[in-house]
Amino acid sequence: MIRSPMLQVFVLWFAGLGAAAQFSKVGVIFEPISAAYAGAAEVTLGLIVSVVGFAGLIFGTTAGLFVARLGYRRVLVTALLAGAGLSLIEALLPPLGLMLGLRAVEGLAHLAIVVSAPVLIAQIAPPARQGFAMTLWASFFAVSFAFTAWIGRPLVAAWGIPPLFLIHAAYMAACALLVRTLLPADARSPRLPGVQPSLLRQHGQIYASARVAAPAIGFFCYTLVYVALLTLLPPETPHPAFLASAMPLASIAVSLTLGVWMLGRVPAVKVVQGGFGLAIVSTLALWAGWGQGLAMEAAALSLAAALGLVQGASFAAIPQLNPAPEDRARAAGAVAQLGNLGTTSGTPLLAALIAAQGARGLIFFVLLPSLAGILLHQWLSARRRAMA
């Protein structure tokens, strides 16, 4: 069978869409989910969205080592099938405690996919198209949220929650079949070294490095706000269904056009800082236009577009700052870990802030991480210059 490298890249991206849908299949229907579990606290309801990220919090920096040992394709197929099975059970809408447990287990499948797929993309993509391939991969969360909102909201309004989970299960199973059919078999994996540093020591080595840790630190500031905004900002607007689809589309459009153009001319870290700067301006505009319909929605779209610059540039910063393959692997693991920390903590935190402070809570929730993203990258750049 002839296997086109770019076809394989798109198959892996499709798998990434399924992994992102493990968040978006709940995030875009947060109100119906809240109604299904009426009486639960706001923070607990937020955890239904974000608990999928818990596995990445613990195992993000070391997952790559074990996935390489087991085989990337094998792990990816297993994770996709596990995700399909878990969605089937979740379609039954079990009691809240069991649902949270299923979502936590789903996080293991999610982590396996987001660690395996980008490594395979980097291996498969032709050198001339690696930049496009990695930028495409970086869009998987935004694309998934847009598509899930487009399909999920009207579907749930007409037929209830279970059909959306069943569609996700079928999609994950189909991706598993495509990966199994179209990707080459795993090469024989190398043996792990006999003595491995402790988990705590590995974390210390990674986050003490201004080169290895930098992409992950900026990415954390992005993921902390992004999924939470896609979940909780549209219901505050006059046209929530439109905005739930349009915000991620704005991120994708900017990332794949302006973002790719800028990355060919400006260092990735500078693009990340510029994206956060534009996010601050957009957030102030959102505050000024709060409750004013069109002005509020325009500012929300501008905010999503600004964060689209951060999205792609954070992945591009990994090879720019880390020429050695082993450092790139460690940096990618840190991105997975802190990305999951952001997606896990952001939604329940923003839900609590909106409940307590309303619009003001949402505005400061975006402003502070965006400012932190700029200043932390500036500090890390100074550290790298001092060490050069």
- Topology agreement, domain 1-187 and domain 197-387: yes
Q: Which residue, among 294, 302, 270, 293, has the nearest Cα to 366 in the 3D structure?
A: 302
Owner of token pair 């706000």: 225
Q: Which of 147, 58, 155 is nearest to 110 (CA)?
A: 58
User: Taking the domains of the chain in order of start, what are their residue ranges?
Assistant: 1-187, 197-387
In this structure, are residues 340 and 56 in contact, taking their beta carbons and an 8 Å threshold? yes
Per CATH, domain 197-387 is 1.20.1250.20: yes
Judged by DSSP in three states, 350 sits in helix
Residue 215, both tokens: 């992409």
**CATH fold of the domain at 1-187:** Growth Hormone; Chain: A; (1.20.1250)
pLDDT digit string (tens) for the chain, length 388 residues: 557 888 999 999 999 999 999 988 998 888 899 889 987 877 788 788 778 877 877 777 677 667 767 888 999 999 999 999 999 999 999 999 999 999 999 999 998 898 788 778 877 877 777 667 877 888 888 788 888 988 898 999 999 999 999 999 999 999 999 999 999 888 665 554 444 556 677 677 778 888 989 999 999 999 999 988 988 888 888 888 888 878 888 988 898 889 888 888 888 899 999 999 999 999 999 999 888 888 899 999 999 999 999 988 888 888 788 877 667 767 777 888 888 788 778 888 998 898 888 888 899 999 999 999 999 999 999 998 888 6
